[in-house]
Structure 1
Amino acid sequence: MNLLARAGFSSDADWKLYNRIASRLLPFLILLYVISFVDRINIGFAKLRMAGDIGLSDAAYGFGAGIFFVAYCLCEVPSNLMLARVGARFWIARIMIVWGVVSAAMMFVHSPLSFYLMRALLGAAEAGFFPGVILYLTYWFPARQRAQAVSLFLLGIALAGVLGGPLSGWLMQTLDGRWALHSWQWLFLLEGAPAVLAGIATLRVLDDNPAKAGWLDPDECQRVLGTLAHERAARDAQGHAHRLGDALRSGDVWRLSLINFTQIGGIYGLAFWLPQIIHELGVKGLINTGFVSAIPFGISAIGMVLVGRHSDRSGERRWHVAGPALIGAFGLVLSGTFATMPTISLLGLTLAAFGLISANAVLFALPGTLLSGTAAAAGIGLISTIGNIGGYVFPFTIGWIRELTGRPSYCLFVLAAVSCVGALVMLRMPSTGRARNHVVA
């Protein structure tokens, strides 16, 4: 199965080797991210019924949905440093098992305060998963193929939207009242359990790095390690960072963090509120809402892979981040402007999801080309941390704006403006360069 495009590889042998690695690792990592993202965004469906049961206002929901990211951000950089120390296999498994238990325990919330507490615990439990996998991919894939690898991993977001919406709607509509449990309680229980099982499977499926991969021949292992060593040497020769302090002092790291902040804020702002927005467009029934919510993510799944492949093939990064971000901003404005016309509004939401997710996939191909060693672990963690603060700020801001103005379209305009800021910062990035041979300078 050829997951990676032929363009950009120096030989057929390398193309076949890295496709073998991709076929071994990426389907499982995508599955993990689907489980992760479903556990994050199922709160959007649960809110449709849970709000009345526990007395949750829009502003309180926005605060609770976002507080997840406060705890997540506090633990993210330490988690990535720990992964680099103890190995990806054990640490990713640990993250998944703990978050699965906490996610299922969300069924016991009974008040806004308990909702806030459990969301914070869930954020702390899951901290480090996404930047950990991004760091893990740098152990296997050279810079010139990394946008494709990251975009394929981020298919988990799109697939979670495609599968999670209909599944969440079906679970809530068919299980409500069974064994005296509310529909949203069943949702948390049944969508939390797979994370525990997948965490156990991680211990058997993943290897820490190519040197520990028994399924690679010795010469294949040496080719992979040699390519990565060549890249590290080239980065060191250019003065690129490799220590913890270097990552914290890097202007590029902070710029990428700001760009990620604008993108993640938009992605989660959409994900957390999409069921509510679709319901307000006139779609009736939980199952129908689930299927309609799958449309933007389904289109995104195709688009983000094409954008990632084109970025690797052309070697260009700057416009492959800024361009989709601007398309996403246009989609948000379109949806908000034509909020009373469901078809056009849904088209706008689809463009928004495609643009923001595609831009984020290419963005995370960049840190590994600027950093190595401890600096890569810390820098990727920091970029993800700052980005996920947007996951707190924007869901809360959306809830506050909705409650203050009664105009959901205003929320979309705010997200569009922020996405434009991120695109402009990307266009000012001095070190995006072009992927050539082994290095993206």
Structure 2
Amino acid sequence: MSKISNTHSLGDATTPEISPSEIDAVVRKAAWRLIPILFIAYLMNFIDRTNISFAKLQMGQALGLDDVAYGIGAGMFFIGYFVFEVPSNMILEKIGARRWVPLIMVAWGGATLSLAFVTTPLEFYVIRFFIGFAEAGFFPGIVLFMTYWFPASHRGRMMALFMTGIAVSGLIGGPLCGAIIEYLDGYAGFAGWQWLMITTGLPTFIVAAAIYVLLTDRPNQANWLSNREQHVLAVSLGNPERTKTSMKAGLVNFWTWSSAWIYFLLVCGGYGISFWMPTLLSQAGIASNAKIGLLVAVPNLIGVIAMLLICRNSDRMQERRWHLVVCFMFIAAGYLIIASQLDSVLGLLVGFSIAYIGILAGAPLSWTIPTKMLTPAAAAVGIAIVASVGNLGGFVGPVLLGKFSQDTGSFIYGLLIISAFQLIGALWTALTVRMPR
């Protein structure tokens, strides 16, 4: 890779050439400062949206939820998410992540706590909608924030590191959630599922305070970077100055809607599994909630290793399209195995693990497309549209599986349909994604 030409000045001195190794060093320094706290926040984010997959093992009977009602409740999160996504991202672009993200986290933490006290399906739907409404700005806001800090050449790895929060939420959150509902059930008069909401909602407030202290909105505001390091990031990013956000630029951009479609299909595959995995393991013969939690960790562990390796290779080759196509194929294959192994715990784990390779690696790779291809004016709105429309897959997936389970007595048909969605995603990506290296 050639050095970046010296055409800038820093103070009164001429700026030396910027080498790729210097960019790597500054990106690494920024990553060590920003990624850990963002990772922890996303870990809490994902646990708070998926903890009901374990809570269902008890709350379904307590609230009178059948499979369809549970699927609707699980999916209502994404309706709320859809409603507030674009406004939230525009607010973040104006006031900065350091102030906006903690407010978002306090709102969703409080809503998660309140979910412990619902008594009817309607209350369950309303609170799930509000959790989605509150969380709407977090993920797309952080994706936008990444474009302010990390050049496109490094963004696949940075997104992968951030999004390991998904896998770790299953790796840690699965056993933890299973243990909470198993061993705290009845303690102080609360059911295990209620303790699950309390114990996963409270830590969000602590992480929100840490975000406010540790996050810096832009490189030129970072007193922990030298002037030279700020300059290196500005040049490598290619767009160091603020650009006026344009609603129209985001709405009419092809990459906004193509990326939204790709992300919709990935999310449909991801949440189709995550919201139903404990239930499928229970129906396959695992009676202990704690053991179910431990088993859920297995595909997450395999998925996170694959995600880091695949995204690292994608960055090394500066190739996105075919890596993403392969991820879609993994998800499709995993769903086919799950559909054929519903009575086998081992077969389910194999299917979950193969699918999770594609789900966890495909998510960060999919975000390299809009963050690279959208113009600065379109980025805030476009990224929010991608996330809001794409996350409707989180409504479709769980509801689809719940509906077919309720109507046919089996998850097979729903699983096969979602597998077909992933094949469509692979074909669409192969035919439409053309990104400069």
* Fold agreement, TM-score > 0.5: yes
Cα distance, 1:231–1:326 mapped onto 2, change above 3 Å: farther
TM-score normalised to structure 1 length = 0.92
Deviation at 1:230, TM superposition (A): 5.6
Q: Aligned partners of 1:412, 1:23: CA distance in 2, in Å?
A: 39
- Equivalent residue runs for 1:34-433 within 5 Å: 34-229=43-238, 243-433=246-436
Checking the alignment, whether the CA contact within 8 Å between 2:245 and 2:380 is kept in structure 1 is no
Name the counterpart of 2:6. Answer: none
* CA-to-aligned-CA distance 1:119-167 (integer Å, 9 cap, x gap): 1111111111000011101111001111111111110000001111100
Q: Aligned partners of 1:113, 1:307: CA distance in 2, in Å?
A: 42
Name the counterpart of 1:3. Answer: none
Amino acid at match of 1:37: F
Cα distance, 1:47–1:218 mapped onto 2, change above 3 Å: same
Of the structure 1 ranges 168-177 and 425-434, higher mean CA displacement relative to structure 2 is found in: 425-434
* CA-to-aligned-CA distance 1:353-406 (integer Å, 9 cap, x gap): 111221111110121211233410111100011111111111111111110111
Checking the alignment, whether the CA contact within 8 Å between 1:98 and 1:196 is kept in structure 2 is no
Deviation at 1:431, TM superposition (A): 3.0
Residue 219 of structure 1 aligns to a residue whose secondary structure is: helix
Checking the alignment, whether the CA contact within 8 Å between 2:331 and 2:419 is kept in structure 1 is yes
Checking the alignment, whether the CA contact within 8 Å between 2:37 and 2:210 is kept in structure 1 is no
Amino acid at match of 1:415: I
Checking the alignment, whether the CA contact within 8 Å between 1:265 and 1:391 is kept in structure 2 is yes
Residue 149 of structure 2 aligns to a residue whose secondary structure is: coil
Cα distance, 1:431–1:260 mapped onto 2, change above 3 Å: same
Q: Aligned partners of 2:133, 2:377: CA distance in 1, in Å?
A: 22
Q: Aligned partners of 1:374, 1:252: CA distance in 2, in Å?
A: 13
After superposing on structure 2, the runs of 4+ consecutive aligned residues of structure 1 that deviate more than 6 Å are none
**Aligned-residue identity in percent:** 36
Deviation at 1:343, TM superposition (A): 1.5
Deviation at 1:11, TM superposition (A): 3.0
Q: Aligned partners of 2:392, 2:129: CA distance in 1, in Å?
A: 13
Residue 139 of structure 1 aligns to a residue whose secondary structure is: helix
* CA-to-aligned-CA distance 1:285-314 (integer Å, 9 cap, x gap): 011000001111111111111111111111
Deviation at 1:271, TM superposition (A): 0.8
Q: Aligned partners of 1:50, 1:352: CA distance in 2, in Å?
A: 27
Deviation at 1:93, TM superposition (A): 0.8
Deviation at 1:19, TM superposition (A): 0.9
Name the counterpart of 2:7. Answer: none
Of the structure 1 ranges 353-362 and 378-387, higher mean CA displacement relative to structure 2 is found in: 353-362
Checking the alignment, whether the CA contact within 8 Å between 2:180 and 2:196 is kept in structure 1 is yes
Q: Which segments of 5 or more consecutive residues in structure 2 lack a partner in the other structure?
A: 1-17
* CA-to-aligned-CA distance 1:274-294 (integer Å, 9 cap, x gap): 100111222220110000011
Checking the alignment, whether the CA contact within 8 Å between 2:160 and 2:361 is kept in structure 1 is yes
Cα distance, 1:329–1:10 mapped onto 2, change above 3 Å: farther
Checking the alignment, whether the CA contact within 8 Å between 2:26 and 2:232 is kept in structure 1 is no
Checking the alignment, whether the CA contact within 8 Å between 2:267 and 2:390 is kept in structure 1 is yes
Q: Aligned partners of 2:44, 2:238: CA distance in 1, in Å?
A: 33
Residue 368 of structure 2 aligns to a residue whose secondary structure is: coil
Q: Aligned partners of 1:251, 1:11: CA distance in 2, in Å?
A: 31
Q: Aligned partners of 1:170, 1:179: CA distance in 2, in Å?
A: 16
Q: Aligned partners of 2:338, 2:69: CA distance in 1, in Å?
A: 25
Checking the alignment, whether the CA contact within 8 Å between 2:234 and 2:240 is kept in structure 1 is no
* CA-to-aligned-CA distance 1:94-135 (integer Å, 9 cap, x gap): 101111011111011101011111111111111110000111
Equivalent pairs counted in the alignment come to 420
Cα distance, 1:205–1:231 mapped onto 2, change above 3 Å: closer
TM-score normalised to structure 2 length = 0.93
